[in-house]
Structure 1
Amino acid sequence: MGVWAAFPFAIWFFLAVECVPLASEEARDPARALPRGITAAMGVLLVLAVLMLVFTSGAGGSEAMSASGNPPVEALEVAGAPDALSDVVNYAGLFGLVASFFSIIYAYSRQTFALSRAGYLPRQLSVTNSRKAPVLALLVPGAIGFALSLTGQGAMLLNMAVFGATVSYVLMMVSHIVLRRREPELARPYRTPGGVATTGVALVLAAAAVVATFLVDVEAALWTLGAYALFLGYFAVYSRHHLVASAPEEEFELLAVADEEVR
């Protein structure tokens, strides 16, 4: 059970790294830059996760760390490190947490903007200001998140975030497998190493993570499923009748191809 309970926290190391592709519209050469960006990000996170596992349990002992809410700092304290060093590590973690907020803000605003522009969410959320920033896509989800933070249910919100992410991972893996089978000739500037086999492994791990969240925090899982049901209901009743036939990025691609043919 301890392994299953560790699943959501292990995923938290990598949570939202899949949002790197949301920067595609800001990148000059997304086919080249985004794979490099997400591969570098995952590499850094993997190294840090291994270091955290080895050094915290090595310094503080696995038994003490199993019940720790702040493993790096408490490991230093158990090992007898100076208070100044513990303070530095503690503040470094705090600054890292704040930095992750900015990444998540960027990611949710772009996701909300794209879904709104395509008609899945209210169209007002994709309206931009004079500097082309999706103001409401930034403010509305942020306000919802801030309101939820005031509930004092930090652990449950963390598990809700992980559960929502793992469900999305399952859907992404299934989508990738289906797309590779239905559109084998589709232009792919970047191809997943290992192809469908790699995706299959990721699918199994994501499904296991979904199960782990249920085992660890049933209430968080049920609340997340309720949110999914709410959005699916909105889609069934309203948004599926107001979808944009062709997304702007698809129209831009068609225009670019037509321009090349004319030249």
Structure 2
Amino acid sequence: MSETGTGYRPVGKDYFDRRGLRRYAGVASLWALGVGAVISGHYSGWNLGLLAGGWGGFALAAVIVAVMYLCLVFCIAEMGAALPHTGGAYSFARASMGPWGGFITGLCENVEYVLTPAVVVSFLATYLSAVFETPPAWLPLYWLGCYAIFIALNVRGVELSFKVTVVVTVAALACLALFWITALPVADFHRFALNIGAGPDGKPVELPQGGGPLLPFGLYGALAAMPFAVWLFLAIEQLPLAAEESLDPRRDMPRGIIAALLTLLVSAALIVWLNPSVGPGSFKLATSGEPLLDGFRATTGGTLAKVLALVACVGLISSFHTILFAKGRQIYSLSRAGYFPRFLSITHPLHKTPHVALLVGSAVALAIMFALWFGMGAESGAAAIQGMLLNMAVAGAMLSYLAQALSFIVLRLNRPGLDRPYRSPLGIAGAAVTLVLALATLAFQLLDPVFVTGVLGVGVWFAIGIAWFAAVGRHRLVLSPEEVFALEAERSVAE
């Protein structure tokens, strides 16, 4: 038993044989994984923040959040190259803050990666329902069908997963580019984007002729929009989870994640500018479950818009597929090291993919979705369920960013001699900016009564996870690659 109250148990010779992964990914695959995981946030979700700050407030929030992600990505690029383990954020925190730090960080990411695919599939179901004109009662059938298809694709093997990821990511970007091209000739920023004003009671009202202020709710409105702006970049941090399936993670991981972020910065800027600048405008777009479809309706007309919307589903499919990949690897890594029940890390005997983790994680997500569907009532609409799931995913993400930024600072201070094939140009200052902005985003979640419920849901998740680890998990750890690295690091520091 260690000083932290944790203990390691011996495992049989076949333990890691039953938990093997296969290397395949290069820079292009990693770029596609990063962009593909995020790109659905440029199709749906971000627009829910327009009512919080108006167009100008949301745009300012997006710039602030982009700065946070730039700083975070530089930190992750450095740690991911230095500690190329499938554990990702958990392994960074384990090496810097011990088993409890590793587990808490892993739990934060677990919330994010279990719930983010649920948010994406709910938006995908909304798009499909609009295209095929099916009743709202059919939405759960779309959820089930999408999970079944893309779990099967992920289980079939890493080669197929990455090939599908590259294809759907490129297609998703092409669909967005088609919208930008069709929107440019008809965009009327002054008329449509600026059609939100503050009413006498301080609540947003629609300005039929546009021409409203950039910041109808002042700086506070911009800060309140930050949790929604996160959706433009959320999940890019998943790339280190593919480290043990990357051909050369020490070289390719930094290149892939930085290239992905640069791509997303351009796409985010264009979608935030052009989508509200065509009909129906910012006010109605702020409550839409399919904002890109609304944009296509304004630029191409109803019938063609439906065809394009069906094509646009590829963006949501891209994110759903790639975040399912991340979820499987995240649960797998914590299970392989004993933090989660060990059976979750068993990989498919033929395809070498974490099929058990994928199935169990998806079952948990679907159970939460159905609980909200029946608990909140189908009549409350998909938007209410999407908002709740989005809030919980963002809360988990912000907590994981805090932990990763702190891990970066501790590793820089305590392990200056660690071999770092890539070094963040922003250093500790960049990690400090990430800490401040992630805390601010989380604070504004807590100030919003709608967000608070989601954050409390995350608190329940944490309570269950911590109870498990305190009672069982910490006594059953396994010397996985992350744990071996961390223990050797601790011995070297002690000497």
CA–CA separation in structure 2 for the residues paired with 1:234 and 1:95: 38
Number of the residue aligned with 2:392? 160
What is the Cα deviation at residue 43 of structure 1? Answer: 1.5
Which stretch of structure 1 is more off in the superposition, 96-105 or 67-76? 67-76
**1:121, 1:239 within 8 Å by CA — same for their partners in 2?**
yes
- 2:468 corresponds to 1:234: yes
Question: How far, CA to CA, are the matches of 1:75 and 1:185 in structure 2?
Answer: 52
Shift of 1:230: 1.4
2:409 pairs with one of 156, 177, 184: 177
* 2:481 partner letter: P
Deviates more, 1:99-108 or 1:123-132: 123-132
What amino acid is aligned across from residue 406 of structure 2 in structure 1? Answer: V
Q: How does 1:101-120 map to 2 (within 5 A)?
A: 101-120=320-339
Q: Deviations over 1:51-91 (max 9, x none)?
A: 111102222444443444433333454x5642245324533
Question: How many Å separate the matches in 1 of 2:270 and 2:225?
Answer: 16
- How far apart are the structure 2 equivalents of 1:243 and 1:187? 26
State the secondary structure of the residue aligned to 1:164. helix
Cα displacement (A) at 1:235: 1.1
> In the TM superposition, what are the counterparts of 1:25-36 in structure 2 within 5 Å?
25-36=244-255
8 A contact 1:72–1:89 mirrored in 2: no
Q: Bigger CA drift: 123-132 or 109-118? A: 123-132
Alignment coverage as a number of residue pairs: 252
Q: Quick check: 1:190 aligned with 2:422? A: yes
Q: Distance in 2 between matches of 1:11 and 1:89?
A: 26
Q: Does 1:19 align with 2:238?
A: yes
TM-score relative to the length of structure 1: 0.87
Question: In the alignment, residue 294 of structure 2 is paired with which amino acid?
Answer: E
The residue that corresponds to 1:70 in the other structure is 290
What are the ranges of 5 or more consecutive residues in structure 2 without an aligned counterpart? 1-51, 54-221, 374-384, 486-495
Residue 243 of structure 1 aligns to which amino acid in structure 2? L
Cα 1:144/1:128, change in 2 over 3 Å: same
The 2-side partners of 1:72 and 1:138 are apart by 29
One-letter identity of the residue aligned with 1:103: T
* Contact in 2 for aligned 1:59/1:76 (Cα 8 Å): no
Decide which moves more: 166-175 or 93-102. 93-102
The structure 1 residue matched to 2:437, chosen from 195, 205, 218, is: 205
- Say if 2:236 and 2:261, in contact at 8 Å, map to a contact too: yes
TM-score (norm 2): 0.48
Distance 1:129 1:69, change over 3 A: closer
Structure 1's 72 and 134: CA in aligned 2 closer, same or farther, altered over 3 A? Answer: closer
Aligned residues of 2:293 and 2:309 also touching (Cα < 8 A): yes
Is the CA contact (8 Å cut-off) linking 2:296 and 2:308 kept in structure 1? no
CA 1:243–1:109: 2 relative to 1, 3 Å? same
Q: Which amino acid aligns with 1:142?
A: S
Residues 80 and 32 (structure 1 numbering): CA distance in 2 closer, same or farther, change over 3 Å?
closer
CA distance in 1, matches of 2:248, 2:483: 16
The higher-RCO structure (CA 8 Å, 6+ apart) is 2
Match of 2:23 in 1: none
Please identify, of 31-40 and 66-75, the stretch whose mean Cα deviation from structure 2 is larger.
66-75
Equivalent residues in 2 for 1:69-108 (5 A)? 69-77=289-297, 79=298, 81-108=300-327
Corresponding residue SS for 1:58: coil
Q: Which moved more, 1:108-117 or 1:91-100?
A: 91-100
Q: Indicate which of 450, 469, 480 corresponds to 1:247.
A: 480
Partners of 1:125 and 1:137 within 8 A in 2: yes
User: What's the RMSD between the two structures over aligned residues?
Assistant: 2.3
Q: In structure 2, how many angstroms separate the alpha carbons of the residues matched to 1:8 and 1:88?
A: 32
Matched-pair identity in %:
44
- Find the residue that maps to 1:130 and give its secondary structure: coil
Answer whether contact 1:109 1:138 (CA < 8 A) is retained: yes
1:231 Cα shift?
A: 0.9
Question: Aligned equivalents of 1:112 and 1:121: distance in 2?
Answer: 8
Letter in 2 for 1:170: L
Per the TM alignment, residue 35 of structure 1 is displaced from its structure 2 partner at its CA by 1.0
Q: Distance in 1 between matches of 2:304 and 2:415?
A: 55
Comparing 144-153 with 178-187, which one deviates more in the overlay?
144-153
Alpha-carbon contact 2:337-2:483 (below 8 Å) kept? no
Distance in 1 (alpha carbons) for counterparts of 2:358 and 2:456 = 26
Q: Is the 8 A contact 2:332 2:344 kept in 1?
A: yes
